[in-house]
Amino acid sequence: MTLLKVDDLVVEHRTPGRPVVRAVAGASLSVAAGEVVGLVGESGCGKSTLARTVCGIGRPASGTVSFQGRPVTPLGLRRRDPSLTGIQMVFQDPYASLNPRRRVGDQIADGLRTAADTSTTPADLLDRVGLPREFATRYPHEFSGGQRQRIAIARALAARPSLLIGDEPISALDASAQAQVARLMRDLAVESGAGLLFISHDLSVVRLIADRIAVMYLGKIVETGRTDEVWADPRHPYTRALLGAIPAPDGAGVLPAELPGDVPDPASPPAGCRFHPRCPKVMDVCREREPEFGPVACWLHEPA
Ligand code: SF4
């Protein structure tokens, strides 16, 4: 069953006196129940904007987002649509996402109240994320980054989500905690039948946990497929470059020499294929026409 469907989504950032920044420029993806989808790409490619829009934080300029068949409405001044509590997010910064003045058990209990769950306790959820039950009475400053991220996961799980979104949830953690937290998110989502959209720039971790992978570049999904197939045969030149990246000790990776430069400014994206100024395989058509097809948005792989 498809839980999340994102269709041709466009999200723009508007600042008076400055050009419109199209952070998401027509992206489509889906997540099914019990499925783990890894969304990967360099910083600034629009992954986090897409995730926030899926949660209702941010308004699409066009395109649609639906969750369990119902449109996701942007968060306004009124209360969040109760059906959207089925989407829970774990954020990048475990130091900012927990309230420093409240005991972690009280923060987890908020989620249990949202789900009207009276049979589970905060200590039960700490147990599920691999932390001692007695941590419920402590405050966030008493914990390491990895422990805090486990607490954030426990808090998200308390609301009994059908869809869990991790927005770079491991990038602020020590290398030793990254794979553990990623695997924990996968195991907890799958065992409860929920879907997981796991956003990361670290392909090596995504490979460990994702059933499917979507590669994003400058606001667009440029390649999608089963993780094992994409890993064995990456077809988009950008995917090939990402897979060729050498993992650095901080997990950030180093792009290979044939992929020079940074992601261009989304306020003035290149004409034609957005990747063409950096692509080692660029052809004339790439500079003129955008490859608007899938599963590999590249003129080298135009469908018959
Ligand atoms: Fe490279 Fe052209 Fe494919 Fe874009 S369309 S990735 S420039 S070969």
Q: Which tens digits make up the pLDDT trace of 237-266?
A: 999 988 876 455 555 545 555 566 777 888
Q: Which of 6-10, 170-174, 247-251 has the lowest mean pLDDT?
A: 247-251
| Alpha helices, H only, 159-290 | 175-191, 203-209, 227-232, 237-243, 284-288
The answer, yes or no, to whether any atom of ligand 1 lies below 6 A from the CB of 104, is no
Q: What is the pLDDT of residues 97-134, one digit of tens each?
A: 899 999 999 999 999 998 888 999 999 999 999 999 99
More confident residue, 66 or 77: 66
Domain assignment present for residue 278? The answer is no
pTM across the whole model: 0.91
pLDDT confidence tier of residue 95, bands split at 50, 70 and 90: confident
pLDDT value, residue 252: 52
> What is the rounded average pLDDT of the residues 62-82?
81
Can you tell me the distance from the alpha carbon of 164 to that of 203, in angstroms, rounded to the nearest whole number? 19
Mutate-to-test residue for ligand 1 from 221, 240, 259, 276, highest number of ligand atoms within 8 A of CB: 276
Radius of gyration of the chain (CA): 20
User: What domain range includes position 219?
Assistant: 2-74+85-247+254-263
Can you tell me the distance from the alpha carbon of 108 to that of 102, in angstroms, rounded to the nearest whole number? 10
- Tell how far the Cα of 301 is from the centroid of ligand 1, in angstroms: 9
Query: Pick from 164, 127, 199: which is nearest to 35 by CA?
Result: 164
> What is the rounded average pLDDT of the residues 30-48?
93
> What is the rounded average pLDDT of the residues 21-45?
93
Q: Report the number of distinct structural domains present in the chain.
A: 1
The answer, yes or no, to whether any atom of ligand 1 lies below 6 A from the CB of 217, is no
Domain assignment present for residue 297? The answer is no
The answer, yes or no, to whether any atom of ligand 1 lies below 6 A from the CB of 275, is yes
Domain assignment present for residue 279? The answer is no
pLDDT value, residue 77: 56
The answer, yes or no, to whether any atom of ligand 1 lies below 6 A from the CB of 58, is no
pLDDT value, residue 178: 87
The answer, yes or no, to whether any atom of ligand 1 lies below 6 A from the CB of 140, is no
Q: What is the pLDDT of residues 125-167, one digit of tens each?
A: 999 999 999 999 999 999 998 899 999 999 999 999 999 999 9
Domain assignment present for residue 300? The answer is no
Can you tell me the distance from the alpha carbon of 291 to that of 70, in angstroms, rounded to the nearest whole number? 30
Bridge pairing between strands 87-90 and 70-71:
unpaired
Letter string b/e over residues 218-234, b meaning 16 or more CB atoms within 10 A of that residue's CB = bbbbbbbbebeebbeeb
Domain assignment present for residue 288? The answer is no
Q: Name the β-bridge partners of 254.
A: 246
Domain assignment present for residue 19? The answer is yes
In percent, the amount of the chain with pLDDT more than 90 equals 66
Assign residue 155 the CATH number of its domain: 3.40.50.300
Helix (H) or strand (E) holding 105: helix 104-114
Domain assignment present for residue 22? The answer is yes
Can you tell me the distance from the alpha carbon of 49 to that of 47, in angstroms, rounded to the nearest whole number? 6
Mean model confidence pLDDT for the chain: 89
pLDDT value, residue 94: 81
Q: What is the pLDDT of residues 43-55, one digit of tens each?
A: 888 999 999 999 8
Domain assignment present for residue 292? The answer is no
> What is the rounded average pLDDT of the residues 19-30?
93
